Structure 1
Amino acid sequence: MSKFGELIDVEIPVLLDFYTELNDASIAMHDILRDVAAGLGDKVKVIKIDVDKNRELAEALRIKGLPTLIIYKNGEMKWRHSGEKDANTLIEIVQEYV
């Protein structure tokens, strides 16, 4: 989990997407997150985390519903949402932390 700390302890917002390939809503978010990353460029890091491959982290963060989206900045959780969001809404939310 020390790698996770390094991942989120940066000055730009980090948008994490906790997903599984077995969840249709999670799969639908892939294209939306690609649009968010393209729309914000280097102002944000977008990272997808497969809960099936990262069970310990998912349990530590109490990930229940999928997809779960979390924004960290400087190592601190700023925003969290379970369920889908559209690209424009996500871009607006992330920009609050840029």
Structure 2
Amino acid sequence: MTTKKEFTSFDEMIAGSELPVLVDFYATWCGPCQIMAKILEQVNAQMKDRLKIVKVDTDKYPHIASQHQIQALPTLVLFKQGQPVDRIEGVLQADQLVQRLQGVI
């Protein structure tokens, strides 16, 4: 479903994407994050040609999490042309999330 790849710079990856990028800030120990992962699979299936979904493990990349002031998990941040345009904290159902994203992208 999601591509796992190493990148030299998070900002470079966000800025270099032609599609809006939805970043899922999560942690492996976070229960709601696991629920959100399943929801994101559904969202990805519906919107994969309009959106790129990237997962960032805040335990592995704490500097990225603090750079984007991530306080709660899961937090989704939508980037458009390298800039954050929306932020969603907590779990949303797939249809709610799709609706919200469609309003922004």
When normalised by structure 1's length, the TM-score is 0.91
Give the counterpart letter for 2:102 in structure 1.
Q
Sequence identity of aligned pairs in percent? 35
Superposition pairs for residues 8-87 of structure 1, below 5 Å? Answer: 8-9=14-15, 10-87=17-94
CA RMSD of aligned residues (A): 1.5
Q: Per chain length, whose mean CA-contact separation is higher, i.e. which structure has more relative contact order (CA < 8 Å, sep 6+)?
A: 1
Report whether the alignment pairs 1:4 with 2:5: no
1:51 shift after superposition: 0.3
When normalised by structure 2's length, the TM-score is 0.85
* Higher normalized helix content (fraction of residues): 1
C-alpha distance in 1 between matches for 2:13 and 2:92:
23
C-alpha distance in 2 between matches for 1:61 and 1:2:
18
Unmatched segments (≥5 aa) in structure 1:
none
